[in-house]
């Protein structure tokens, strides 16, 4: 295991996340290294902590509002400091990417936005060029998780 600092410095994990706060902190550390326009792919089982990590990132960027899962809305947006926007997408409910969905994704991804995408694989073709980092989360124990962070 490596610590969160090592991971953010580029090591390939896995990182132990002992509690929710550790996952929030990882989100904050990751987003500190991102530029507007970057995309973050978030993978892991239901409840693995993907949305929690986005909450940590959005809070660190000064995004107002409560970060909730966009499973049914597909995307939520938050305004952060200095004109940076945060898009939080959850593609879980998409079986396949229709034209409308592709348009919606295109609208969400722009040069002023840092985008976090849960269940991204259905849209990988569209996202791939912009992906800066991939995070794989998994359950370790009841309240502990593991993260593998891969920077591109």
Ligand X SMILES: Nc1ncnc2c1ncn2[C@@H]1O[C@H](COP(=O)(O)OP(=O)(O)OP(=O)(O)O)[C@@H](O)[C@H]1O
Closest to ligand X by CB, 34 vs 117, is 117
Q: Which of 16, 43, 59, 69 binds Mg ion (CB under 5 A)?
A: 69
Cβ 103 to ligand X shortest distance, Å:
23
Query: Which x/- pattern over 100-139 shows residues binding ligand X (rule: CB under 6 A)?
Result: ------------------x---------------------
Interface residues for Mg ion in 107-146 (CB under 5 A)? 118
The distance from CA 148 to its chain's CA centroid, rounded to whole angstroms, is: 13
Closest to ligand X by CB, 106 vs 143, is 143
Interface residues for Mg ion in 33-52 (CB under 5 A)? 50-51
In 3D space, the residue among 144, 139, 135, 141 whose CA is nearest the CA of residue 19 turns out to be 144
Instruction: Determine, following the binding rule CB under 6 A, whether residue 51 of this chain makes contact with ligand X.
Output: yes
Instruction: Determine, following the binding rule CB under 6 A, whether residue 17 of this chain makes contact with ligand X.
Output: yes
Residue nearest to Mg ion as judged by C-beta position: 51
Phi-psi region of 126 (alpha: psi -120 to 50; beta: other; left: phi over 0): alpha
How many CB atoms within 10 Å of residue 53?
A: 29
Cβ 140 to Mg ion shortest distance, Å:
18
DSSP string for 80-142: -GGG-EEEEEE-TT-SS--HHHHHHHHHH--TTEEEEEESGGGGHHHHGGGEEEEEEEEE-SS
Q: Any bridge partners for residue 148, and if so which?
A: 136
Cβ 83 to ligand X shortest distance, Å:
27
| Cα–Cα distances in angstroms (integers) from residue 98 to residues 91, 141, 149, in the given order | 12, 37, 29
Instruction: Summarize as ranges the residues that interact with ligand X (CB under 6 A).
Output: 17, 19-20, 22-23, 44, 46-52, 69, 90, 118, 143-145
């Amino acid at each position: 295991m490596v610590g969160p600092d090592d991971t953010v410095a580029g090591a390939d994990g896995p990182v132990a996340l002992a509690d929710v706060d550790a996952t929030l902190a990882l989100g904050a550390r990751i987003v500190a290294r991102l530029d507007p326009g970057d995309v973050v792919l978030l993978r892991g089982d239901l409840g693995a902590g993907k949305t929690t990590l986005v909450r940590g990132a959005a809070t660190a960027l000064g995004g107002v509002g409560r970060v909730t899962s966009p499973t049914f809305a597909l995307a939520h947006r938050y305004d952060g400091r200095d004109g940076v926007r945060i898009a939080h997408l959850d593609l879980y409910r998409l079986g396949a990417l229709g034209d409308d969905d592709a348009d919606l994704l295109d609208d969400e991804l722009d040069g002023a936005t840092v985008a976090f995408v849960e269940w991204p694989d259905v849209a990988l073709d569209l996202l791939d060029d912009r992906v800066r980092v991939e995070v794989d989360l998994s359950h370790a124990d009841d309240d502990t998780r593991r993260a593998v962070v891969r920077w591109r």
